[in-house]
Amino acid sequence: MLLEVIRDTLQRAGFSVSEKCNIRPIGFDLIAKRPDLALVIKALSNVDSFHAQVAHDMKLVSQHLKASPILVGERCGAGPLRDDTVYARHGVPTLTRTSFYDLLVSNIPPLVYAAPGGFYVVLHGQSLKRLKSEGKISYGALSRELGISRRTLRMYEEGMGATVDIAAALEEHIDEPLIEPIDPFSYPITLENIPAPKLSGLEKMVVNHLDEIGYDVTSVYRSPFDAMAEQKENFIIAGIGDYDRGLIKKARIVSSISDVVKRPAILFTDKYKVTRPNLLGSPLIGRDELNRLRDPEDVLDLIHDRIRDEKFDEPS
């Protein structure tokens, strides 16, 4: 239910949205894109079940796709999440469904962020400086009235968060709005030092070969695709899997993501030769053709040749 609400919100806000990314091991749920913004999204009723590995892979994928990771949830162990508030789990900004809708559809950004010790806002430091320089406020008088130090007021100028109560009292005193809106999609992406996923024999073969022919390859664990390969402006997403019925499900989701992010996708399989040029629109490559790829241009040519209007849906 939560994921369907999120999908509806994204569509109302003008995003193209991928199919649900429900291949095990399950990581993020959706990728969405519109001209000004791309998102990698996870939906969880209880955000305490959001694991570090999922967060890491969401941020890794977001970094390569020039997207923003976002977690949408309803509650944590302490109770329901507050609307109009940005939380964070493992460095991923976290919103309620209402805040997510308000931000994307109604263009109403959140004003509060949660951090150890409570709820805070960011004050417009330049306004404080201007009011002080114009003689309209005195930090001495303000510090006595609000019960905070002059040093704290100076730190507000520099961007330190203020508690919601202090911010409200400060705005009431100067009769001017000071609270800055928060953009959760502008948070910097910081990757933790999490060990790289252990690759299967086929994955190792594909990754090593792409690396040898000039790609910078990044493996992903909790994702419907298994690797991202980049060489200058040449970027592909790669699914890697055995040639069986499970490959259809992977192909459907990988092709959907490719359509959304406007990046080519390719599927590598363990079969020595394949008789179909593509699977649900994504080029299908066997071991023999993998070994014959000599440089990134070969990969691009193959992708171009293999994408056809006809989309096969059965491994033979």
**Domain assignments of the chain as residue spans, ordered by start:** 2-110, 119-180, 201-306
Q: Give the model's pLDDT for residue 173.
A: 83
User: Quick one: pLDDT at residue 310?
Assistant: 46
Q: Is 92 helix (H, G, I), strand (E, B) or coil?
A: strand
CATH ID of 201-306, from 2.40.128.20, 2.60.120.40, 3.20.20.150, 3.40.1350.10: 3.40.1350.10
Region label for 48, one of left (φ > 0), alpha (ψ between -120 and 50) or beta (otherwise)? alpha
| Dist CA 166 CA 146 (whole Å) | 7
Q: Is 54 helix (H, G, I), strand (E, B) or coil?
A: helix
Contact 252, 245 (CB under 8 A): no
List CB contacts of 153: < 8 A, sequence separation 6 or more: 128, 139, 142, 143
- Element spanning 234, H or E: strand 234-241
Given this chain, do its domains 2-110 and 201-306 carry the same CATH topology? yes
pLDDT of residue 312: 46
Task: Split the chain (316 residues) into runs of 10 and give each run's mean pLDDT.
Answer: 96 97 92 98 97 95 97 95 97 98 97 94 88 84 87 88 90 86 95 83 94 95 94 92 89 94 94 87 91 92 72 50
DSSP state letter for 149: -
The dotted CATH code for 119-180 is 1.10.260
Q: Does domain 2-110 have CATH number 3.40.1350.10?
A: yes
Beta bridge partners of 114: 119
Give the whole-angstrom CA distance, residue 2 versus residue 7.
9
Using a cut of 0.85, tell me whether the model's pTM lies above it.
Answer: yes
Q: Pairing mode, if any, of strands 68-76 and 79-80?
A: antiparallel
